[in-house]
Structure 1
Amino acid sequence: MTTTQLDADLVPAPAVRFLPRVGADTRYVLTGLPLGLASLVVATTGFAAGAGTAVLWIGVPLMIFAVGMSRGFAETERGRIARVLGEPLARPDYRASGSTNPLRRLVTALGDRQTWRDLAHATLRFLPSTVAFALTVTWWAGMLGGLTWALWGWALPDDSQELPEMLGLGDAYLTTVVCYLVGAVAFAATLPAVVRWSATFEARFAQRLLTGQPR
């Protein structure tokens, strides 16, 4: 057997090559929504509360905390999207303040354009995250639910109306099983593309705000 033949034998099947990518994209999307909600609550709400009480000086440390948290969320997301997109990302240079005075530190941070981009991402990231999360969960649920329906479908109430019956295909148990299996195959066939699009959609949104790259 030649070396070329050995190399060909060792090349993974297409389905096997897809699995790590699908798993990585799914993990990115499923963790993106909780992170988006956390950044919205901690960074955005904290900054708004701090701005509202800044005249009492109570809000100054709160705003500094919120800005720091938004930068922390931004730094975490840069690492996440670099792995999803598979390309190096430029890290913006933040304006540094050598002062220990809290007010001067806050003024310096607020004069930095990237601070506002980080806050915008913390505020808005849950929107693309929600879309990506909904699509990913729907496709996984459709595939797994259709593949396993024969194992648990019998436990559903007798008066429940299944999709094949709604489509006029009858209410026979075997018909329902076959129908859901066909649907599961369709979900499985399109799962890599849908999950990949969802992860890329969410990552590109973050890339525009957190790196300044317009792609």
Structure 2
Amino acid sequence: MIETTAQLPRRADSVPDPTEQPWQTEASTPWTAVVRRIRSLGADTAYVLVTLPWSLVAFVVVFTGLAVAVPLMVFWVGLPIAAGVLVVARWFASVERSRTVRRAVLAGDLPLAEPRRAAAPGRGVPVGADRPSLPRRVLASLRDPQGWRETVHALTSWILSIVTFTVTVTWWVGAVAGTTVYAWVRFLPENTGNDDLSGAARDALEVLNSTGFKLAAGIVFLLTLLPMTRAMARLQAGFARTLLDEPRTVAR
């Protein structure tokens, strides 16, 4: 019997299912499911690991710009500098959206939507026509709420990324080190410092240091690696969605 991955035929009068995924095929082999899970695990891991250094760069650049702009606002010089900081924060947000979209495509989640922005004064004005003055354009940029949301994301994303990065690395190290314990445990020095402990504490420490316990812990880490990594990636992407996604208006 030859398995096929062609999509099921659709009736002419049927209504398309919005929840149907491109990989929902007529016959999906176990191998294709494994490939999807590995691809999703790689996308989530790469997204979380890259977010920490990238968010630190965004924080340093945006915070430095604001630290220069705020004291100079008393001389009105800080206003154009602050507007430039918002432009830089918009660029960082654009890169974060593209990273989140790429991760969502591989992991099967919803990507971020590019927010609609009000047209800046002077944009689209024909050549030779009167353009708004520079102060007006600067003030219009500073009144953009989405620009400040992107600035807040650049200033705070690193805090959450420390947690997601640490948990993801811990699970990967625990899974790899635990499941390969028999390959490296022989090279560890013998623990001879348990003689000073009481009987119960010494027995508990021997259990924790045993090869069987390390292997069992590694299996637990391995079995929970995919859902834990997915949870960390969704937590990081959810934070970005809160500040960088198109704001939703609630109908009354």
TM-score (norm 1): 0.82
Contact 1:74/1:118, CA 8 A, preserved across alignment: yes
Contact 2:175/2:222, CA 8 A, preserved across alignment: yes
Is the deviation greater in 100-109 or in 182-191? 100-109
Q: What is the DSSP-based 3-state SS (H/G/I as helix, E as strand, rest coil) of the residue aligned with 1:178?
A: helix
C-alpha deviation, 1:132, in angstroms: 1.0
1:207 aligned partner, one-letter code: R
Which residue of structure 2 aligns with residue 168 of structure 1?
Answer: 203
Q: Which runs of 5+ in 2 are unaligned?
A: 6-25, 123-130, 195-199
Question: Does residue 94 of structure 1 match 2:129?
Answer: no
The structure with the largest alpha-carbon Rg is: 2
Instruction: Kindly provide the CA deviation profile for residues 21-64 of structure 1, in whole angstroms up to 9, marking residues without a partner as x.
Output: 00000000000111111111111331232122233455344323
- Count of residue pairs the alignment pairs up: 211
Question: Does residue 196 of structure 1 match 2:215?
Answer: no
Contact 2:115/2:247, CA 8 A, preserved across alignment: no
**From 185, 190, 194, the counterpart of 2:219:** 185
Contact 1:121/1:209, CA 8 A, preserved across alignment: yes
How do 1:7-86 residues align onto structure 2 when only pairs under 5 Å count? 10-12=29-31, 14-85=33-104, 86=109
Q: What is the DSSP-based 3-state SS (H/G/I as helix, E as strand, rest coil) of the residue aligned with 1:80?
A: helix
Identify if the C-alpha distance between structure 1 residues 29 and 100 changes in structure 2 by more than 3 Å, giving closer, same or farther: farther
Q: What is the DSSP-based 3-state SS (H/G/I as helix, E as strand, rest coil) of the residue aligned with 2:150?
A: helix
Q: Which runs of 5+ in 1 are unaligned?
A: none
TM-score (norm 2): 0.71
Instruction: Kindly provide the CA deviation profile for residues 98-131 of structure 1, in whole angstroms up to 9, marking residues without a partner as x.
Output: 2685543321111111011101111111122122
Alpha-carbon distance between aligned partners in 1 of 2:28 and 2:61, rounded to the nearest angstrom: 52
Alpha-carbon distance between aligned partners in 2 of 1:166 and 1:151, rounded to the nearest angstrom: 28
Q: What is the DSSP-based 3-state SS (H/G/I as helix, E as strand, rest coil) of the residue aligned with 1:46?
A: helix
Is the deviation greater in 37-46 or in 91-100? 91-100
Q: What is the Cα-based RMSD across aligned positions, in Å?
A: 3.2
Alpha-carbon distance between aligned partners in 2 of 1:188 and 1:178, rounded to the nearest angstrom: 15
Q: What is the DSSP-based 3-state SS (H/G/I as helix, E as strand, rest coil) of the residue aligned with 2:162?
A: helix
C-alpha deviation, 1:15, in angstroms: 3.8
**From 164, 168, 171, the counterpart of 1:136:** 168
